[in-house]
Amino acid sequence: MIRAAVLPAVGSPLEITGIHLPEPGPGQVRVRLAAAGVCHSDLSLSNGTMRVPVPAVLGHEGAGTVVSIGEGVSHVAPGDGVVLNWAPSCGACHHCGLGEVWLCANALTGAANVYARTEDGTALHPGLNVAAFAEETVVAADCVLPAPDGVPLTDAALLGCAVLTGWGAVHHSARVRAGESVAVFGVGGVGLATLQAARVAGASTIVAVDVSPEKEALARAAGATDYLLASETTAKEIRQLTGGHGADVSVECVGRATTIRTAWEATRRGGRTTVVGIGGKDQQVTFNALEIFHWGRTLSGCVYGNSDPARDLPVLAEHIRAGRLDPGALVTERITLEGIPVAFENMLAGKGGRALVVF
């Protein structure tokens, strides 16, 4: 019996309760969590913006220590530190064949499995494959990657989503070049990681935009050279800060139609707008045909930072060891499982950076 945060139904409050977790079967790994980040995607799963089989244990950004392994598992052993990979690639689908492992058609099939049960025997699903909002979890072997040497597991937890996503948005999707200007919309966990990544890329002007004045210090510490409170004149202000042209790259980390539209308008002619934020189907963004032609901008989505965790984790680890990236700086609150509902409320209110569940 271990403690977990269970989502009994879409739209229902999380319940902190005991669950029965089986020993790992063939091709499975049991992990004792060290920490798990509370991501906006977890909130989107709980409120139905994204679909998830329920009841479920949410949480997809985490790291911990291997407790035991099932038959056939050889890349990790009991006692090893690991990072959870919530979107493992199958290696066989069309997108994997193209090298686009972040778009793997089979990455989330494990979320439909029954992986544990409540005290009364009710079947539980593992959220986005890994069920990190629990003291321990059992996952498929391809959902764990060796934790980087020299990186504390509490920091390594953030590599599983926020840091990979922010890094990839800058280096894989937008492909920011040294000397370019970057505007980042939304200074939550992913936004802070994006700011750090833009700084590492050598961006010249880095503008952070958020609705909260309290986030300015966080943004500047992460690499922002300028900070703007979101308003109807944000795009104009960014153009003023970038020689009248607009940002070479805008990264939207909110997932709202108005923010996406503003990020697009803040991007220079011929620049790149990357959308990281996950919005609902009701968030409709409109463009007219003439402006698409005239501005020559590129608008692209970005899934999981367009990253390959197996390839990118060692790169991120080297930057962390060298002091160029600081995952811990994304964290504005360390909580227990019981604190997750309040962390959800804070995200809705636009407060803070990353809340981290520490076990």
At 257-281, the pLDDT tens digits run 999 999 999 999 999 999 999 998 9
C-alpha 189/C-alpha 346 separation (Å) is 12
Average pLDDT, the chain: 96
At 139-150, the pLDDT tens digits run 999 999 999 999
At 194-229, the pLDDT tens digits run 999 999 999 999 999 999 999 999 999 999 999 999
Average pLDDT over residues 291-309: 97
DSSP 125: B
For the chain, what is the largest distance between any 2 Cα atoms, rounded to a whole number of angstroms? 64
Strands 354-358 and 182-185, by their bridges, are unpaired
Positive or negative: CA dihedral 190, 192, 197, 201: positive
- Give the model's pLDDT for residue 54: 95
Average pLDDT over residues 102-113: 95
- Give the model's pLDDT for residue 81: 98
Residue among 338, 359, 333 nearest 5 (CA) = 338
C-alpha 350/C-alpha 194 separation (Å) is 17
DSSP 235-299: HHHHHHHTTTS-EEEEEE-S--HHHHHHHHHHEEEEEEEEE-S---TT------HHHHHHH--EE
pTM: 0.96
C-alpha 209/C-alpha 330 separation (Å) is 16
Based on its alpha-carbon atoms, the radius of gyration of the chain, rounded to whole angstroms, reads: 20
- Give the model's pLDDT for residue 206: 98
DSSP 171: I
Model confidence at 333: pLDDT above 90: yes
Average pLDDT over residues 308-312: 95
Residue 195 phi, psi dihedral angles, 5° rounding: -60, -45
Model confidence at 50: pLDDT above 90: no
- Give the model's pLDDT for residue 190: 97
Res. 51 pLDDT band, cuts 50 70 90? confident
